[in-house]
Structure 1
Amino acid sequence: MNNQEYYLIYSLEGCYFSEKAENFLNNYGMPHQLIKVKQSEKEEYKKMLQKQTFPQVYYHSKDNKYYEIGGCSDLEQFIIKNYVK
């Protein structure tokens, strides 16, 4: 998925908001890549991402840069603001 626009989601297994974010992107046909985080890996990813909640969503631009979107509600607002007319 290099040099393409897509969303990168760190999705925690069993997390309602992680599943909601995945479904939201699927419903709008937005390209995305999932990194499934197991409950046993949760603390490790929280440290790595320096965040306390899941999901964590990033936008990968055509110029190969990542931009932090935030969580599920941030993703919904971003998509609606930028893509839904």
Structure 2
Amino acid sequence: MIDLEKLKPIIEGYKEYLPNHWKDEKYKWEAIQYFQDHWDIDAKNFCEMFKTATEKTFNLLASGYAYPRGMIVNFACTKTK
């Protein structure tokens, strides 16, 4: 369970940080909005829906050593026999 008392100062700190760093942080919020606009858990083609919903995540779902988006796409788009 999340300790809300410990989380509260972190959120407040981010609120203070964000206005001065919006230029660097904006893409994260845009990626979240894009995801929310394109997510449909009931989509007939989950693979295509997932790829579309996450296509603007850039480094948020990939890094130099981990590719969670790529792995989910791989698993979701692989047809089983």
TM value normalised by structure 1:
0.23
Greater per-residue helix proportion? 2
Query: Which structure exhibits the higher relative contact order, with contacts defined as CA atoms closer than 8 Å and separated by 6 or more residues?
Result: 1
TM value normalised by structure 2:
0.24
Q: Which has the larger radius of gyration?
A: 2
